[in-house]
Amino acid sequence: MTVKGLIFDLDGTLIKSPGITLLNKILLETLRELKLNTKNIVLDEFWRSGRRHRDILEKWGVRDPIDFWRVFDEKDYNLRFRLIKSGVIKVFEDVTVLKQLALNYKLGLVSNSSRRVVELELEAFNLRDLFQTIIILGTEKQDYAKPEPQGVLWCLEGLGLKKEEVVFIGDLEIDLEAGLKAGVKTFRIIRDDIKGHIREEYTIRSLHELYSKINF
């Protein structure tokens, strides 16, 4: 079936930022502000946890997840605001291809970040008008954050398209997992060399490759 829509992750896929390093820094600062012990905790497991994130927070001693996300989101927004202003956070060069793609395909966005952060980045880099549907999974919808597939499915619904009519593109293993769980063709964009196993059949190195990958 002909592809009619493309769904993108935001951070790491369209926006170049410190990524997990940035998130872990904010996570540690949040836990310390809440006066919690940060020794012997595995930070990376949190970002892969999906629905299990509440269990991990409880294990770390967080009594109120809403309070945790309030503190985290405020720190996240303030730091990203400064990094955008200083030029550390910016768009990848190949993101220019989206304007051309938007002429022929419906574009959607699925992000695990908070609403304030997503709106900040979309406005800062003039990306908002490219997307017909934007699904934000941070804060109150964290239970559905990738690698859970729900965000991709909601985006499909918003675009009015079927699973076989859409391609999903993200930069992390959790994006690949979410897309495949949702039953859509999925690619992980890897622009730099990374350690570990790479599933080449699901990998692109530039958004420009989408032209040759879309109608498979």
pTM tops 0.85: yes
pLDDT in tens, the chain (216 residues): 689 999 999 999 999 988 888 889 999 999 999 999 888 888 878 887 777 888 999 999 999 988 999 999 999 999 999 999 999 999 999 999 999 999 999 999 999 999 999 999 999 999 999 999 999 998 778 889 999 999 999 999 999 999 999 999 999 989 999 999 999 999 999 987 665 566 777 889 999 999 888 865
Say if residues 210 and 6 touch (Cβ distance below 8 Å).
yes
Say if residues 70 and 46 touch (Cβ distance below 8 Å).
no
